[in-house]
Structure 1
Amino acid sequence: MNPKNERAELAADQRLGVGNVLTTLLDRGTELDAPTLTFDTEVDGHPAWQAHSLAELGQRVAARAAALHGLGVRPRDPVAVWVSAAADQVLSYLALVRIGAIPALVNGRLAAEQAGEYIKRLRPVGVIVDAPHRNALDSVDSAVPVLADPAELGAGDPEAAPQPYRHHGSEPVVITHSSGTTGLPKAVIHSHHSLFAAIRHRLLLPKGQGLARMLGVLPSAHAATVIAVNLALTNRTQLALLSQQSGGPVLDAIESWQPQSVLGFATTWSELAGADFSQRDLSSIRTWWNTGDCAHEAHIRKLVAAGMREAVTSEGRVRKPGSFFVDGLGSSEMGHSQFFITHTPDTSRYGRCIGKPHAFSDVAIVDDDGTKLGPGEVGQLAINAPTLSLGYWNDSVTTYRTRRDGYFLTGDLVFRDEEGYYYHVDRAVDAVDLDEGKKLYTMLCEERVLAECADVLECTVVAVPSEGKVATTVLLMLDPQADQEADRTAEVLAALESHVAATVERVVVVSQDRIPLGATGKVRKFLLRQRFLDGELLGQTEGAGVSA
């Protein structure tokens, strides 16, 4: 079959969604021996880093579906999955949707207290949990029955698996969760069609560079991994899934597996940007794909200098040094990045530019009253798209608070320029009003510090309103080769707007372990604000520029 024809046929199939891609492809009966998913751990005796063919993947999923069905799992049953290995997360998801159950994927890095409360609020029929997480769950008494250790599920008989469930477009098919940076993560419901909508759109476009061999370094419990798995399957391409997202293991995987593209979050790019690429082989890379928070210019420029890409010139298609970086902005609730912009070593549109909206997205910028704003005006980002989640599981109050006039209010502050490009300046909960109508946008401050201060690898800005004034702290993580004791205050203040610089009380050099992070690597600024209000200074005693 012509691959172009198959992609068009899959895009046109309205029965297809994230609940039945695998079973649909198996039913088509073509390319059953073609490599699909690769895991970084052994699966049922199948070695780590060895691809599963489509037929092998189908057998492993059917075995788990049979085992779960034998344990009493039935269609529409919510089942929590709290594990560390990407293989356990992905195979459990595929097995549960084959039955018609609703997997609730839980990030393996979530703290036990948070995970226990989150799982309890889901009210699932049970939880699939590996040994380390079972001990953690027992310690917080979540009162949710344990169904199985994922290591046991592969012993099921594939021939005993029930017939695949018939999914419908608007039905809930999988639950993922938000990052939890402001408190307990929110359980986000995705339908059969919502997480597939962007994939359907991409199937009608030419394949992007680097899709033939992709390395997924996204959190395996995230909606982005569900999308990546189904994107790879429908495009008949290879996807390797890494169980951790830290820089060293990612670079090791790039060198050993030689992917053409890497899919990740901003926190991974930050760590990679701090590495010495001269000691690494990144020649296979054509494209870096970012989702979630948009990435910083300083990190993008480091990444696009590596690898090779194909470019169209007057002499035809040629290979050029340097790679693509596809940036955007998305969230679990948005279901997919709603914007895109492609950077190369030759591009210069930065300043937290997230690009232009995808064709499937209706984007608006609104004020607090819901009035749409024009170019240059900062307001709340509002999205209406087929990728949007159905809302929050067991939480209709929060669901409806975030919806207005058919739009989802994302919690992001953005503006667009006269050319139609959008720029992200902050999360609404982190921005602060200053005198005379001026604003302090913490993420925009971080972007400027990173762009102007070469020795700074990462920056976190926290603004705390208290007793009629705003006290801003700038936390810096430096290149290990930089002078850790030097006073960076003047350099940092010079990078900021004058009205923002006037609020800065402290510039502090810290180690990464002093910054509280959520399960997906996002900084928990609300915790830092509370710590500062409580008098904690991260080791600083007095004056700016002192290391902690």
Structure 2
Amino acid sequence: MRPHDMGTLFDEAAAGGARTVVHLDRPFDIAPRAGTRWTVTELAGLVRATAARLADAGVRPGDRVGIVKDNHWDYDLLACAVVRLGAVPALLSARLGTENLVALLERLRPAALVTTSEVLARCRDTATGESARILVTVDSAAPGAVHLAALDASWPCVPVRRHDDEPLVIHHTSGTTGVPKLVVHSTRTLVHKLARFEAVRYPGIGIRPDDVLANASAYGHGRTFCWTAVVMSLAPARIVVLTGDDPETADPLLRAHPPTVVEALPASYIRLRPLTTRLDNPFRDVRLYISTYDAMHPPALRAYLTASRRARPLWMQGWGQTETGPLTFRFHTRRSALAPDAETTARRLGRPVPGRIRLRAVDPDTLRPVPRGRLGLLLVRTPALALGYVGELGRWDAKRVGDWWSTGDMGVHHRDGSVSILDRAADALPGMSCLRTEDVLEQRLPQALECVILGAPDGDPLPVVVTADGRLDPDAWKQATHGLPTLRDPAVLTWDEVPRTGTGKVRRAALARQLTGTAPAGTGRWT
């Protein structure tokens, strides 16, 4: 099956005989009493019923429908239901701060908002209610809103088809440097150019009929909408959906259904890492790990690859953006992760996808190409480039450089064609790579869950070390920083004290303001 219409995706998978069974760590928010085990046929029925309920609420073709709720895969089921009605879903993370969430809703101006009573309560003093004529809650009744379960699931609702180049779905970027952007994709860019390319049984890395897929993701973001199209097309034996990253909650489900393929947020890999050291760890049968969204540091790569009992497990690390989809891929093995130079080569994120992606590095000021092997601003050309930003046409146009797109990442395009990412342009500091310094620190500080380097406008960079208990031995820090650029004394925080995006990325600007009262020093403008 080749994915095409996301509104009928689950119907077509069921009609094609897909026997995939889905296991959830908690019931869907849109079906709280229906349990945690689902077949594809049941999922298709849930999408149809949800579409009928939204039609009963008044959603019509062409409407924008905002979706803001707790993290779960039913973000994508709701999106498919909205697509089925000919409307355009806009998936917004409930982890967004109220100020950013309100800003996005005002920019979006949805006809309908599908959300929770908690989100409505924290946005009550804003124009949220005025911008959406239809308010639907998925958890419980709320003033001025209708409860999803109270709507008619039998409302007539024939699937509405749309042109391949019309808006299909809206996702927001991570927002590490400020208010996220709202990215619009079409069927052609997201399904035809991205999902279809992935929905192939490639040797070694393709999804097999007997695979057990585990996913711990931010389901309101663009990657999982594409992932949903792929997995429904390739029909693995089982899918395990994790909505959180607490090791004790995830462990029983992973043990009951040991995965052979794992895809997770980098932040989730960090949080679930304690499971890799258990005697009968749940990753013992994994043949393929997949990571996107953010950089993976070498210690985490090693922990998971050595946890697998397979002879040759692989780690596929992708670099890409919401606007472009995947741009490069690199594979890690036990041997490469354990190599003496793993820390210095970890930033090499592979080569551009052949025949699909072109890449060049340019001077960020003049936009002239720099020689291979020299640091520059990375530009790409891809047929999967999104249609634009909602409400920010000028910002979108400013990131276009002729036929090229500015990624906003500073890196090196090496002579062998591979790419190294050294920093976001907005975070770049003269004379050092924040990401490489973070790699070294994490390697030398086994107790660190995460290390972050923040540029300071009035002196040396400020390092932030995240540990389980918010403590760090001063002697260990002194040894860890030997030979590194001069840094200030570290700020030591726990995981929950660090401001994060919906995908678990550190909100560096917010963290800098939290610790110093000022924004971080950076040289970039390509955000």
TM-score, normalization by structure 2: 0.86
Confirm whether residue 243 of structure 1 aligns to residue 246 of structure 2.
no
Deviates more, 1:200-209 or 1:167-176: 200-209
- The aligned residue for residue 144 of structure 2 is none
Opposite residue 98 of structure 1, the aligned amino acid is R
Q: Distance in 2 between matches of 1:59 and 1:95?
A: 10
Q: Distance in 2 between matches of 1:109 and 1:45?
A: 21
- The aligned residue for residue 217 of structure 1 is 216
Kindly report which structure 2 residues correspond to 1:137-156, keeping only aligned pairs within 5 A, or say none: 137-142=123-128, 143-145=130-132, 146-150=134-138, 152-153=147-148
Deviates more, 1:245-254 or 1:413-422: 245-254
Q: Distance in 2 between matches of 1:129 and 1:483?
A: 38
CA spacing shift, 1:41–1:271, aligned 2, 3 Å: closer
Q: Provide the secondary structure at the position in 2 that maps to 1:382.
A: strand
- The aligned residue for residue 227 of structure 1 is 226
Q: 427, 431, 434: which is aligned to 1:442?
A: 434
Confirm whether residue 202 of structure 1 aligns to residue 190 of structure 2.
no
CA spacing shift, 1:276–1:324, aligned 2, 3 Å: closer
CA spacing shift, 1:171–1:514, aligned 2, 3 Å: same
CA spacing shift, 1:175–1:263, aligned 2, 3 Å: same
Q: Distance in 2 between matches of 1:62 and 1:506?
A: 56
Q: Provide the secondary structure at the position in 1 that maps to 2:462.
A: strand
Would the aligned equivalents of 2:55 and 2:155 in 1 still touch at CA under 8 Å? no
CA spacing shift, 1:45–1:177, aligned 2, 3 Å: closer
Opposite residue 256 of structure 1, the aligned amino acid is A
1:306-343 Cα distance to aligned partner (Å, 9 max, x none):
1233xxxxxxxxxx1x6321112122122x22111111
- The aligned residue for residue 541 of structure 1 is none
Q: Provide the secondary structure at the position in 2 that maps to 1:255.
A: helix
Residue 39 of structure 1: how far off its partner (Å): 3.5
Residue 298 of structure 1: how far off its partner (Å): 1.3
Kindly report which structure 2 residues correspond to 1:244-323, keeping only aligned pairs within 5 A, or say none: 244-274=244-274, 277-279=277-279, 280-309=281-310, 320=311, 323=313
Confirm whether residue 42 of structure 1 aligns to residue 27 of structure 2.
yes
Would the aligned equivalents of 2:66 and 2:112 in 1 still touch at CA under 8 Å? yes
Confirm whether residue 329 of structure 1 aligns to residue 335 of structure 2.
no
Residue 295 of structure 1: how far off its partner (Å): 0.9
- The aligned residue for residue 462 of structure 1 is 454
Deviates more, 1:35-44 or 1:399-408: 35-44
- The aligned residue for residue 539 of structure 1 is none
Q: Distance in 1 between matches of 2:409 and 2:247?
A: 27
Kindly report which structure 2 residues correspond to 1:176-187, keeping only aligned pairs within 5 A, or say none: 176-187=171-182
CA spacing shift, 1:248–1:224, aligned 2, 3 Å: farther
- The aligned residue for residue 59 of structure 1 is 45
- The aligned residue for residue 387 of structure 1 is 384
- The aligned residue for residue 472 of structure 1 is 461
CA spacing shift, 1:139–1:243, aligned 2, 3 Å: farther
Residue 262 of structure 1: how far off its partner (Å): 1.7
1:414-443 Cα distance to aligned partner (Å, 9 max, x none):
11323222111111111112xxxxx22211
Deviates more, 1:66-75 or 1:42-51: 42-51
Q: CA RMSD in A?
A: 2.7
Q: Provide the secondary structure at the position in 2 that maps to 1:273.
A: helix
Residue 243 of structure 1: how far off its partner (Å): 2.1
Opposite residue 393 of structure 2, the aligned amino acid is S
Kindly report which structure 2 residues correspond to 1:321-360, keeping only aligned pairs within 5 A, or say none: 323-334=313-324, 336-347=325-336, 348=339, 350-359=345-354, 360=356
CA spacing shift, 1:265–1:173, aligned 2, 3 Å: same
CA spacing shift, 1:245–1:483, aligned 2, 3 Å: closer
CA spacing shift, 1:525–1:42, aligned 2, 3 Å: closer
Residue 102 of structure 1: how far off its partner (Å): 0.6
Q: Distance in 1 between matches of 2:407 and 2:245?
A: 25
Residue 372 of structure 1: how far off its partner (Å): 2.2
Confirm whether residue 517 of structure 1 aligns to residue 500 of structure 2.
yes
- The aligned residue for residue 475 of structure 2 is 487
1:340-374 Cα distance to aligned partner (Å, 9 max, x none):
11112122453311111123222222222222223
Q: Provide the secondary structure at the position in 1 that maps to 2:455.
A: strand
Would the aligned equivalents of 1:62 and 1:95 in 2 still touch at CA under 8 Å? yes
Would the aligned equivalents of 1:19 and 1:173 in 2 still touch at CA under 8 Å? no
Would the aligned equivalents of 1:209 and 1:286 in 2 still touch at CA under 8 Å? no
Q: Distance in 2 between matches of 1:379 and 1:524?
A: 23
Residue 230 of structure 1: how far off its partner (Å): 0.7
Q: Provide the secondary structure at the position in 2 that maps to 1:86.
A: coil
- The aligned residue for residue 524 of structure 2 is none
Opposite residue 511 of structure 2, the aligned amino acid is L
CA spacing shift, 1:41–1:134, aligned 2, 3 Å: farther
Q: Provide the secondary structure at the position in 2 that maps to 1:342.
A: strand
Q: 383, 392, 406: which is aligned to 1:409?
A: 406
Q: 386, 396, 401: which is aligned to 1:399?
A: 396
Confirm whether residue 113 of structure 1 aligns to residue 109 of structure 2.
no
Q: Distance in 2 between matches of 1:87 and 1:419?
A: 39
Would the aligned equivalents of 1:352 and 1:425 in 2 still touch at CA under 8 Å? yes
Q: Provide the secondary structure at the position in 1 that maps to 2:190.
A: coil
Residue 248 of structure 1: how far off its partner (Å): 4.2
Would the aligned equivalents of 2:90 and 2:169 in 1 still touch at CA under 8 Å? yes
Q: 86, 89, 96: which is aligned to 2:75?
A: 89
Sequence identity of aligned pairs in percent?
23
- The aligned residue for residue 70 of structure 1 is 56
CA spacing shift, 1:204–1:283, aligned 2, 3 Å: closer
CA spacing shift, 1:199–1:291, aligned 2, 3 Å: same
- The aligned residue for residue 544 of structure 1 is none
1:444-502 Cα distance to aligned partner (Å, 9 max, x none):
21012122333333111111133xxx32111223466x983333343232252xxxx23
Q: Distance in 2 between matches of 1:221 and 1:390?
A: 19
CA spacing shift, 1:283–1:155, aligned 2, 3 Å: farther
Residue 210 of structure 1: how far off its partner (Å): 5.6
Would the aligned equivalents of 1:63 and 1:155 in 2 still touch at CA under 8 Å? no
TM-score, normalization by structure 1: 0.83
Where in structure 1 are there 5+ consecutive unaligned residues?
Answer: 1-5, 310-319, 434-438, 537-548
Would the aligned equivalents of 2:317 and 2:349 in 1 still touch at CA under 8 Å? yes
CA spacing shift, 1:154–1:97, aligned 2, 3 Å: farther
1:364-402 Cα distance to aligned partner (Å, 9 max, x none):
222222222232111112122122221211210111111
Q: Distance in 2 between matches of 1:228 and 1:427?
A: 26
Would the aligned equivalents of 1:67 and 1:156 in 2 still touch at CA under 8 Å? yes
Q: Distance in 1 between matches of 2:305 and 2:272?
A: 12
Opposite residue 526 of structure 1, the aligned amino acid is A
- The aligned residue for residue 451 of structure 1 is 443
Q: 126, 140, 156: which is aligned to 2:112?
A: 126
Q: 398, 415, 432: which is aligned to 2:429?
A: 432
Would the aligned equivalents of 1:463 and 1:471 in 2 still touch at CA under 8 Å? yes
